[in-house]
Amino acid sequence: MSTAMTRVPGIGLETFARACGLHPEQVRRLVALGLLDPVAGPGDALRFPPSQLVVLGRIERLHEGLSLNYAALGVVIHLLDRIAELEDALRRRPPARGARPWSSAD
């Protein structure tokens, strides 16, 4: 009788923390603040999609560049994402009839 190994998606907490150069407890704090979004693992285990490595890189760059605490970064990240959505919507929107495109000379 053979037991099939079940493949669990994502990166385990210890491996994720090591890849980011953080202590696992710091990663847990970022999850608690809602800055990282783990996937369900077996039991209470935290697992992270590889895309969360990019998210954490952004968090760390903003943390160092703006000298903000991690709680405040949640607001900053939300605002930056919203600005990007609005800019994208403006780019996709057809120009109004008779409207001049913006230029640096205005």
- Please check whether residue 4 lies inside any domain of the structure: no
* Count of structural domains, the chain: 1
Q: Evaluate whether 36 touches 28 at the Cβ level (below 8 Å).
A: no
The kind and range of the H/E element at 86 are helix 70-92
- Please check whether residue 98 lies inside any domain of the structure: no
- Please check whether residue 26 lies inside any domain of the structure: yes
Global confidence as pTM: 0.73
Tell me the pLDDT of the chain (106 aa) as tens digits: 545 556 667 999 999 999 999 999 999 999 999 999 999 878 878 999 999 999 999 999 999 999 999 989 999 999 999 999 999 999 998 877 776 666 555 5
- Please check whether residue 86 lies inside any domain of the structure: yes
Give the CATH number, domain containing residue 44.
Answer: 1.10.1660.10
Domain hosting residue 45, numbered range: 11-92
Q: What Rg value do the Cα atoms of the chain yield, rounded?
A: 20
